[in-house]
Amino acid sequence: MKKIKLNTILHLPNRHNRPRKQAFRTWLLIISLSLCLSLLVFSGLLANKYFIISGHLKNKTACQLCNFAPVSIPNSSSRDAIFTMLTDFGAGSERLVRSLRTTGSNAKVVIFTPNNVKLPKWVFSCNVMQVKSGPLTERAKMSPYKMRWEWYYEFLKKEVDNFDRILHVDAFDVFFFGDPFPFAKDRNGLYFQMEDKTLRECPYNKQWVLACHYDVNRYKLLGNIIACSGSLLGGAKPFLRFIEMMVTHNEWPLCWGKGFDQGDFNYILYTELQKTNISRYFMGCNSGFMTYNYCVNKNRMLDDKNRPITKNGTIITFAHQYNRYKVVKNHIISLCNV
């Protein structure tokens, strides 16, 4: 069988055109490197592209407040922020914004949205900033819960120096009875909202951890207390560092669906964060900073002044997942008439 030489195909004679052959290879290398560089730059631009629409609290009468007396004295500034992400602004989101303003908190509300979301005009009179972070892709639809962390990360890589403290919250089931920032005294630390049950005791949390993480003693990990990914409070730079560890770790893309960010959240908290110098603070069910799911006495949710309370009677400052309990949900709806 006749052998075909490579230089026959390229039409480059082997002996007399070596300079031309070398030039051709050099040209191919330059073109390849240029294309790779262009793709990297273009990808980076897409990843970091966002559009901000901002509002200010020019006068308090322009922002409609709810009907309750704050349970704490405000301790926040305009450099503190509530971060949340939504694809549709509903009644729960309205309660979030208006309840925070009722507490007297000076923190701004930063709402991350897909590009196609238009917020009601009134929200911008309540010191709300909208960050349009990208298109509503199929990936974002599959897990907006995970997508929000990536959007926070891309935003904070450029903007972190504009913030002192940040509280991340879910957009549809959170209510403030007081300014949350007095809880965050250490700006070099992070404050986690604990559910006072182990990961092993909850079938959902157990699945979220076991389905995606393979590089640790996963069954030992399950002995830790559930940290709710519906909130994260702390200094802006520790907040960014935690998110960076979460969205860049190898197993982040493996499970992309509803709820799985809580598995990643707990994985990073109990395996990676402890390797840093960031202080960790755990706020349990009776702290007043509470997720309702496992933390309530179903027979006594309100005190004699109609204020939501924890199991031991502590008045709640921050309520998450209140919509799971009709008594509390109806009470909160009545406070804001929405």
The answer on pLDDT for 47 being more than 60 is no
Determine, yes or no, domain membership for 100.
yes
3 state SS of 64: coil
25 pLDDT higher than 70:
no
Residue that wins the pLDDT comparison between 19 and 209: 209
What pLDDT, on the 0 to 100 scale, is given for residue 214? 83
Residue 216: pLDDT band with limits 50, 70, 90: confident
Residues 220 and 107 in one domain: yes
Is there a single domain that holds both residue 19 and residue 104?
A: no
Tell me the per-residue pLDDT of 276-286, one tens digit each, with 9 for 90 and over.
999 999 999 99
pLDDT of residue 13: 41
Q: Is residue 157 part of a domain?
A: yes
Shared domain for 15 and 140, answered yes or no, is: no
Statement to judge: residues 252 and 107 lie in one domain: yes
* 301 in the same domain as 233: yes
C-alpha distances in Å from residue 111, one per residue of 167, 172, 204, 271: 12, 12, 27, 30
**pLDDT of 76-124, one tens digit each?**
999 999 999 999 999 999 999 999 999 999 999 999 999 999 999 999 9
Spell out the residues 6+ positions from residue 80 whose beta carbon is closer than 8 angstroms to its own.
Answer: 105, 106, 107, 108, 163, 164, 165, 166, 167, 181
Q: Nearest to residue 166, comparing CAs of 99, 98, 239, 102? A: 239
- Residue 138 inside a domain? The answer is yes
The continuous run of DSSP H or E covering 39 comes out as: helix 18-47
Q: Is residue 264 part of a domain?
A: yes
pLDDT in tens, 253-264: 989 988 899 999
| Residue 85 three-state SS | strand
Q: Given this model, what pLDDT does residue 56 score?
A: 62
Give the CA distances from residue 105 to residues 75, 82, 153, 160, in Å, rounded to whole numbers and listed in that order: 7, 10, 24, 20
- Check whether residue 133 and residue 227 sit in a common domain: yes
Domain-embedded: residue 70? yes
pLDDT at 17 over 90: no
Domain count, the chain: 2
Q: Within this chain, do residues 13 and 68 fall inside the same structural domain, yes or no? A: no
User: Looking at residue 245, which CATH number applies to its domain?
Assistant: 3.90.550.10
Range of the domain at 310: 51-336
Q: How much is the mean pLDDT over the chain?
A: 87
Give yes or no for residue 296 having a pLDDT over 60: yes
Name the pTM for this structure: 0.84
Residues 143 and 185 in one domain: yes
Residue 276's CB is within 10 A of a number of other CB atoms, namely 13
- For position 59, what pLDDT does the model report? 55
Any domain includes 323: yes
For residue 1, tell me if it sits in a domain: no
> Does residue 176 share a domain with residue 261?
yes
43 and 96 assigned to the same domain: no
The answer on 144 and 125 residing in a single domain is yes
In a domain, 235, yes or no: yes
Same domain, 257 and 230: yes
